[in-house]
Amino acid sequence: MYQKRFYRDQFKKNEMEYFELAIKESDLFIGVSKATAEIKELAREKLMQFRLDLENYIKENPLFEITFKPFKISDGVPEIIQRMAQAAQQAGVGPMASVAGCLAEMVGESLRRLSTEVIVENGGDIYLASTKTRIIGVYAGDSKFNGKLSLEIAPGETPVGICSSSGTIGHSVSLGKADTCLVKSRSAGLADAYASTIGNMVRNKADLPAALEKAKSLPGLDGVLIVIENEMGVWGDLCIKGN
């Protein structure tokens, strides 16, 4: 069932041009310097290619889609499979925990040869490459922090992935109860996987300290913001602003 991505209206408050791209379960919202027909066609072509590679691999390896543990792959598999498997291995989760971030990242990378500004959002998981400072809103369910926080990303921090896991928002699987577990990493696929790793740990407010300690030990994780009910925990290189 289609769910309206209400938060996408926030992206439109800048000089970029935006378009939506939906193919099966993938629902991308893409921002570029200028949304030309060439860029739109390239985005569609790449998303279709990456999805086909993934679907074909799953047909031959159905466990890849359903396991909650890292999956060992052989040499010569498509790049989307390589990235998902590597992120899952580092994060200690199943490869599908990184699919939204990996797809956003790979489509975004493809568009950079045609646009200096690129934002690809896929179900709340974001790949960003920009020459300007960008502001990303933080959504946290029924928490008092919902809509009151934002993340400032400087040009030198990009390309970057900003991905979230939630036990109270959306339909993605989470074993935790955090309203949001937002992770920043240079790799969007890794950020997506790490958001699941950390988010799964947070089942009540008492779990915040252990989750933040875990974040400190994860290579390639630049920062994390966790909100559960009316409490918040932050670690790492995050520039958080109040709205």
Give buried/exposed letters for 112-128 (b at 16+ CB in 10 A, else e): eeebebbbbbbbbbbbb
Q: What is the largest CA-CA distance in the chain?
A: 50
Closest CA to 40 of 23, 21, 24: 21
- Residue 39 has a pLDDT of 98
Overall CATH class of domain 8-242:
alpha beta
Taking the chain (243 residues) in runs of 10, the rounded mean pLDDT of each run is 46 81 96 98 98 98 97 97 98 97 98 97 95 91 81 97 75 67 97 95 94 96 93 94 80
Rg over CA atoms, the chain? 17
Closest CA to 199 of 142, 240, 140, 147: 140
pTM: 0.90
Q: What residue spans define the domains of the chain?
A: 8-242
